[in-house]
Amino acid sequence: MERNLIIGGSIVAIVLLALYTSILVYWRITQNDPEMLYQEQLSRRAMSGKVMYTPRREGRRTHSYGNEDRTLFESYEKKVWGLAMRATKMETVLASYYGDRDGFDGKCAANGEIFDKYGLTIAHRTLKLGTLVVVSRGARAVLAMVTDRGPYVEGRDIDLSYVIARYLGVGIDPVELYVVREPEGDKKYHHSNPRCLRS
């Protein structure tokens, strides 16, 4: 009986150790992998009701910028700054934003997705589509993906989605742009919206 208890206890300890190791490995990968961190943010936004890249219902939107957005961005800032410190390239650029009252929200972006002004995305003229970047202003920083081309106004370097601009406090302002991961080629999503596909 005592021997069985010892064996059972050992098995439980081994299982718990394996579980702890798996969690630790996943945590370390997430900390260092920009793609996983980006997808994790999208998942958290979806679970909190901030669903992106989905069709609008009869053109009506249920989400608006608020405390939930600020809380989410703030909860990731330490990890995002960690990515910025390991960036392959950093420059100060002039940023503006789009998607708010300009007709771009809900239109096709260059990567074949529907542009969502509440998405964690930016437009850039030359960085490859799918490039992950950190955009910062002051103490605030956001991890975003290049999904579109622009801006097309002389003197401006990047266009932020509306939600990122609101969090960073950007109208037309300089920001720091950190390139944290570039894909081998322009990233066209396999789940591109059918109405954005070109023959």
pLDDT tens-digit map of 102-122: 889 889 999 888 998 988 999
Residue 172 DSSP class? S
Q: How far apart are CA 34 and CA 143, in angstroms?
A: 8
Cβ neighbors of 56 (< 8 A, separation 6 or more) are 106
φ/ψ of residue 60, rounded to 5: -95, 140
Residue 103 DSSP class? S
Q: How far apart are CA 53 and CA 51, in angstroms?
A: 7
Cβ neighbors of 19 (< 8 A, separation 6 or more) are none
Q: How far apart are CA 74 and CA 82, in angstroms?
A: 14
Q: Which one-letter amino acid corresponds to residue 128?
A: K
* Biggest alpha carbon–alpha carbon distance for the chain: 81
Cβ neighbors of 196 (< 8 A, separation 6 or more) are 108, 109, 112, 113, 114
Q: How far apart are CA 96 and CA 153, in angstroms?
A: 10
- 54: three-class secondary structure by DSSP: coil
Q: Would you give per-residue pLDDT tens digits along the chain (199 residues)?
A: 656 666 666 676 676 666 656 554 455 545 568 889 998 888 887 666 554 444 443 344 445 666 778 888 899 999 999 999 999 899 999 999 999 888 898 899 998 889 989 889 999 999 999 999 999 999 999 999 999 999 999 999 999 999 999 999 999 999 999 999 998 766 655 456 676 765 4
End-to-end CA gap in the chain: 72
